[in-house]
A and B are shown apart, each in its own frame.
Chain A
């Protein structure tokens, strides 16, 4: 059960709106995002419910929801939203606040997604691009699921979808500088 009317101000709403640049109040709960989203069926709270929970100021539920981690940022939802709300930006904002405020969803799936995110960023840091083969290998090792999606590898390799070897991009130094700058900004922010 949810109790409303105790908080002086809906700080969750204010913070999410500020960080995402969207206005969650615009949402009129039509649910088009939910039926558009390719992964909504795996979410504990699909995007429409996340929007309503933000309106009701339900911090804990919103931060702990797996929805924000399942979100692919594919923007299909915002592309079809009749009120033109940037839902992926809202999801992104929630992910950030949740990490900052130490709300950690430790279910197996969310853990694996977080690992994937980190490995992906590592790839960017090293190569300036995604190195799919290494990403797959590392993810499978770190999540201790060695043969996951292995059956797809031969086909993908043969069709040239994933290159065997990858060299860092030309501007790799600039990309690494960006990472350093981001680190610095984050520290300053804290």
Chain B
């Protein structure tokens, strides 16, 4: 005879204000299997858990129902309470009377209470059929894959490697460093970006536990947490990195000039190039699209001047495989193209540039030697207008969200302009100044007071040309008047957007992504670096726009998660997975088709004991199965059962109401 205990939680006022918790207890007590029922203000607190532990022993309970919040929130907490009282933790059922009742029926307490009673009644019925389950152990490959070599990937790789866990760091471009390598100084301290980044880049290259694979992409990821297999494409660099010394003779002599991506196309690079002088690895690659030898078969100068004979025009892309246990995705972001701002004359007026172009110009190693210039005539600008929220928070043009970093880097740009061009003046058109961060508000004050940048609250309506000046027209909402600024240069703070291939990569990895294309975290507050797929973590702007401090913090958090995952030789896994009853399996393989994790394979078994004739049945890979239940639904012979959600359990639930 089942003996069920029911514990109803107030959740402070979250449940108790909208559901009559006393009535729930009274109703539930009438069920004959329920031997004990009570309610308490915070069931998840220690006194609450103690009530559960005491009742289990006192009333010799065979299963426990907690009516509280979502199982995503506290299922683990209560399972542990059961375990501590000597009970199998999977004999717990949770009736979610918060998200499913009190929060959604706040206007009707009576109906909410009725619904809560039904939910508890179902959970009680289900729990009667609960069986004891035991966690599964799966082996772990203690090697992490970090995708992306920007500051997020670098930090994650270093932190994981410092714990003596091997890391494979895959970077798409020829050098690690990412967007941070393009920055001049960083807010709010004006630290030189290169000075704080390049030592870390060198650490990555020389770390004994890091395998750096530059100029490569992840093609495939199969397997499951602790046991992934990654297929990585090493793009042909046409340079043998083992023999190349990075002397630079090749790129000095190369006759082909191509717009330099590192400097936002302001100057030119060669077809054989390193992205920037501090690149890691500091070895050149050949840009196959533009190289004369590779496109027309004529030239070969670089091969002639290379003393080491490192140039190999016949080099092919190479596919390599690595076995890994966890993945950190740190692929970063892109910047929005402001072309839709036709009223600003983007594309028509040369003296409208983006913030990253301005950043490259004021950068000490930039194409203009650290001084901003007007692209139209090369003059040094005096009056510079900065316009924030280009694309960001503009639903008509671009994006609903705030890009988070533009307020601060624009503030930095006004200060940099003040430093680099004496007598210059900054005008900043803004909607809000979002300076939430340590030292950020003080930094904005520095720009407004010390460098006398003029802040004008309003979006610019249009920009037109008058002589060689640009007239920027907008409202200053602070005085309610239209303002026109006669500008030499206009800088647009373009929105942060996810990389174009983010959704493809997310699908490849099996993680979800939002409507913009940012990869989704498992929980916005409590699991900010995990994805819904076990063993895959997110760092940096792959997840959402964020600044360097937040990115680094998130990268270190990912490293901590990876280290935690690899802390034992095996990993514990939830036992709530599918199993096949071979007696009933007809071998139709519908389940194989619907399984989103590729966890079902087929096997041949004898028709009957001792028989030589074979038949095909489905087989579940316990390590891979995530317990989604798709196979159960599709199985026409009801041969598959999901532990914790067995047919008797579900039928009990349905019959109970």
Closest chain B residue, CB of each to CB of A31: B478
B288 within 8 A of A: no
Interface: A28 (CB within 8 A): yes
Check B138 for interface membership: any CB of A closer than 8 A: no
What distance in Å separates the Cβ of B216 from its nearest Cβ neighbour in chain A?
A: 48
Task: Check B482–A2 contact: CB distance below 8 A.
Answer: yes
Asked if A23 and B449 sit within 8 Å, CB to CB, the answer is yes
Residues of B within 8 Å of A52, CB to CB, are 476, 478-479
Of the candidate stretches A3-11, A72-80, A139-147, the one touching chain B is A3-11
Whether A55 lies near B483 (C-beta < 8 A) is no
Cβ-based interface call for A59 (8 A): no
User: Is there a chain A Cβ closer than 8 Å to B425's Cβ?
Assistant: yes
A18 to chain B, nearest CB (A): 15
Q: Give the residue of A4, A23, A53 whose beta carbon is less than 8 angstroms from that of B485.
A: A4
Assess the B481–A4 pair: CB atoms within 8 A. no
Q: Does B301 contact A (CB under 8 A)?
A: no
Q: How many residues of A contact B (CB 8 A)?
A: 21
The CB with the most chain A CB atoms within 10 A, among B383, B454, B457, B483, is that of: B454
B interface: dominant SS: strand
Give complex CA distance A1, B473 in Å: 10
- Closest beta carbon of chain B to A156's beta carbon, Å: 40
Evaluate contact between B449 and A3: CB separation under 8 angstroms: no
Q: B483–A26 contact, CB under 8 A?
A: no
Let me know if A56 and B448 touch, CB within 8 A.
no
Interface positions, chain A 39-81, Cβ under 8 Å from B, are: 45, 48-49, 52-53, 55-56
Taking a contact as CB atoms closer than 8 A, the residue among B425, B445, B479 that contacts A5 in the complex is: B425
Task: Assess whether B481 is in contact with A1, with CB atoms less than 8 Å apart.
Answer: yes
Complex Cα gap A10–B479 (Å): 18
B219 CB within 8 Å of chain A:
no
Give Cα A55–Cα B487 distance, bound, in whole angstroms: 17
Tell me which residues across on chain B come within 8 A of A5, comparing CB atoms: 383, 425, 427, 485-487
Q: Which of A4-25 contact B (CB under 8 A)?
A: 4-6, 8, 10, 13, 23, 25
A56 touches which of B383, B476, B482, B486 (Cβ 8 Å):
B476
Residue contact A2 to B481, C-beta cutoff 8 Å: yes
Beyond A56-B454, A56-B476, is A26–B449 a contact (Cβ under 8 Å)? yes
Interface digits, B465-506 against A, CB 8 Å rule (1 contact, 0 not)?
A: 000000000001011011111110000000000000000000
> Using Cβ atoms and an 8 Å threshold, which residues of chain B touch A1?
481-484
For chain B, give the interface size range: 20 to 34
Question: In the assembled complex, which residues on chain B have CB atoms less than 8 Å from the CB atom of A26?
Answer: 445, 449
Give the residue among A4, A13, A23 with the most B Cβ atoms within 10 A.
A4
Min distance, Cβ B477 to any Cβ of chain A, angstroms: 9
Q: A55-B454, A56-B483 are in contact. Are A2 and B449 (CB under 8 A)?
A: no
A29 touches B478 (CB 8 A): yes
- The answer to whether A49 and B486 have CB atoms under 8 Å apart is no
Q: List the A side residues contacting B457 at CB < 8 Å.
A: 29
CB pair A6 B486 closer than 8 Å:
yes
Known: A25-B448, A28-B448, A55-B454. A2 touches B483 (CB 8 A): yes
Whose C-beta in chain B lies nearest to the C-beta of A57?
Answer: B454
From A6, which residue of chain B is reached at the shortest CB distance? B486
Q: Which of B389-429 contact A (CB under 8 A)?
A: 423, 425, 427
Residues from chain B with a CB closer than 8 A to the CB of A53 are 479
Is residue B452 contacting chain A, with contact meaning CB distance below 8 A? yes
Which residues of chain A come closer than 8 Å to B486, judged between CB atoms?
3-6
Check B484–A4 contact: CB distance below 8 A. Answer: yes
Chain A residue numbers with a CB within 8 Å of B485 are 3-5
Q: Please, which residue of chain A has its CB at the minimum distance from the CB of B473?
A: A1
Closest to B487 in A: A5
Contact A2 B425, beta carbon cutoff 8 Å: no
Contacts of A3 in B (CB 8 A): 483-486
Residue of A nearest to B450 (CB): A25
- Least CB distance from B467 to A in Å reads 13
A26 to B454, CA, bound (A): 12
Across the interface, B427 reaches (CB within 8 A) one of A4, A23, A49, namely: A4
Q: Report chain A residues within 8 Å CB of B448.
A: 25, 28
- CB-CB under 8 A from A55, the residues of chain B are 454
Give CA–CA (A138, B516) in the complex, Å.
73
CA distance A45 to B483 in the complex (A): 17
The minimal Cβ–Cβ distance linking B446 to chain A, given in whole angstroms, is: 11
Query: Within the complex, what minimum Cβ distance (angstroms) separates B195 from chain A?
Result: 31
- Chain A residue contacts of B423, Cβ below 8 A: 8
Give Cα distance in the complex from A13 to B425, angstroms. 14
Q: Is the beta-carbon distance between B484 and A49 smaller than 8 angstroms? A: no
B415 to chain A, nearest CB (A): 14
B401 to chain A, nearest CB (A): 25
A8 vs B425: C-alpha distance when bound (angstroms): 9
Minimum CB distance partner of B444 in chain A: A28
Contact with A along B431-468 (1 / 0, CB 8 A): 00000000000000100110010100100000000000
CB-based nearest A residue for B385: A5
> What distance in Å separates the Cβ of B290 from its nearest Cβ neighbour in chain A?
41
Cα-based distance from A17 to B383 in the complex (angstroms): 22
A140 to B401, CA, bound (A): 61
Q: Could you tell me the distance between the alpha carbons of A3 and B486 in the complex, rounded to whole angstroms?
A: 7
What's the minimum C-beta distance from B655 to chain A, rounded to whole angstroms?
Answer: 64
Q: How far is the CB of B562 from chain A (nearest CB, A)?
A: 43
Partner of A49, one of B479, B482, B483: B479
Contact present for B487 and A49 (CB under 8 Å): no
Tell me the bound Cα distance from A105 to B423 in angstroms: 34
Contact A49 B454 (CB under 8 A): no
Let me know if B482 and A4 touch, CB within 8 A.
no
Question: Which residues of the other chain, B, contact A13 by a CB distance below 8 angstroms?
Answer: 452
Residue from A4, A5, A10, A25 having most chain B Cβ neighbours under 10 A = A5
A173 to chain B, nearest CB (A): 46
Q: State how many angstroms separate the Cβ of A54 from the closest Cβ of chain B.
A: 11
Q: Give B267 Cβ to nearest chain A Cβ, in Å.
A: 29
| Alpha-carbon gap, A6 to B486, bound state (A) | 7
Of A4, A25, A49, which one neighbours B478 at CB under 8 angstroms?
A: A49
Does the CB pair B425–A25 fall under 8 Å? Answer: no
Closest B residue to A53 using CB positions? B479
- A contact residues around B425 at 8 Å (CB): 5
Q: How far is the CA of A2 from the CA of B482 in the complex (A)?
A: 6
| Complex CA–CA separation, A55 to B486 (angstroms) | 16
Q: List 14 A-B contacts (CB under 8 A).
A: A2-B476, A2-B481, A4-B483, A4-B485, A5-B383, A5-B485, A6-B486, A10-B452, A25-B448, A29-B457, A45-B479, A49-B479, A52-B478, A56-B454
A residues with a Cβ closer than 8 A to B are: 1-6, 8, 10, 13, 23, 25-26, 28-29, 45, 48-49, 52-53, 55-56
Further contacts, 5 of them, CB under 8 A, given A5-B425, A49-B479: A2-B476, A4-B485, A5-B487, A6-B486, A23-B449
List 3 tightest A-B contacts by C-beta distance, closest first. A5-B486, A5-B383, A4-B485
